[in-house]
Amino acid sequence: MKKIVAVVAFFAITLCSTSSVLAQNFDVKLAQEESKTFVKETIKDLDLTVEQEKAVYNASMLKIRMTASAKNDAAKVEINTNFNEKLKVALKPSQYKKYLALKK
């Protein structure tokens, strides 16, 4: 009887950890898709170079991951501020102004 309980417990623990890993993979794929969509829209609107595309994609991925784990609104504001700073560095001044105008 003890062996049966141990086997059932083992399978329950394995099932729980597997679903957690699958959820994390889903979150990463969702973040990648959101970042790709953001970059595609930004490319269209701002005429980005390949280097700028990569920088915007990486900044977007980081923002999405950080926002998902943010504990409060102040943390989210800081994440958005950091994201905008990364974009400001990656984009030309005219592109950044246009980005800010499109964002509103």
**Average pLDDT taken over every residue of the chain:** 76
- pLDDT number for residue 71: 85
Specify whether the CB–CB gap between 68 and 29 falls below 8 A: no
CA nearest neighbour of 83 among 101, 66, 102: 66
Q: Is 27 left (phi over 0), alpha (psi -120 to 50) or beta?
A: alpha
Amino acid at 39: V
pTM (two decimals): 0.65
- Residue 64 has which token pair? 């999405």
DSSP conformation class of 48: -
Tell how many helices (H) and how many strands (E) occur in the chain: 4, 0
pLDDT of residue 66: 87
Nearest to 68 by CA among 79, 59, 57, 58: 79
Q: What is the pLDDT of residue 28?
A: 72
